[in-house]
């Protein structure tokens, strides 16, 4: 996949990402809890340098241990 835009994502339990993203790049391994485009809360276990291909509105602070998260679209 080729993406034209990227934004650093700061996990937060209320604030949405400014732009709904198509997937997440995760720099360090750990859990990532997201609010999907369909309003589901889902937790993933990410590997360092991994990509999670799911549309998300928010990365929740609660339940997220991974860092260096970048939203791509």
Per-residue model confidence (pLDDT) at position 1: 78
Flag whether the pTM goes above 0.85: yes
Per-residue model confidence (pLDDT) at position 14: 98
Q: What 3 state SS string does the chain have?
A: CCCCCEEECCCCCCCCCCCCECEEEECCCEEEEEEECCCCEEEEEECCCEEECCCEEEEECCCCCCCCEEEEC
Residue 51 clears pLDDT 90, i.e. is over it: yes
Per-residue model confidence (pLDDT) at position 30: 98
Beta bridge partners, 34, equal: 42, 59
CB neighbour list of residue 58: distance below 8 Å, 6 or more residues apart: 12, 15, 16, 17, 34, 35
Mean pLDDT score, 1-25: 96
pLDDT band with cut points at 50, 70 and 90 for residue 21:
very high
């Amino acid at each position: 996949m080729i993406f034209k835009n990227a934004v650093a994502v700061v996990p937060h339990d209320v604030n949405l990402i400014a732009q709904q993203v198509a997937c997440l790049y995760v720099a360090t391994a750990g859990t990532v809890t997201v609010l999907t485009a369909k309003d589901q809360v889902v937790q993933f276990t990410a590997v360092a340098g991994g990509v999670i291909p799911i549309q998300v509105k928010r990365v929740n602070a609660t339940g997220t241990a991974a860092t260096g998260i970048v939203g791509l679209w």
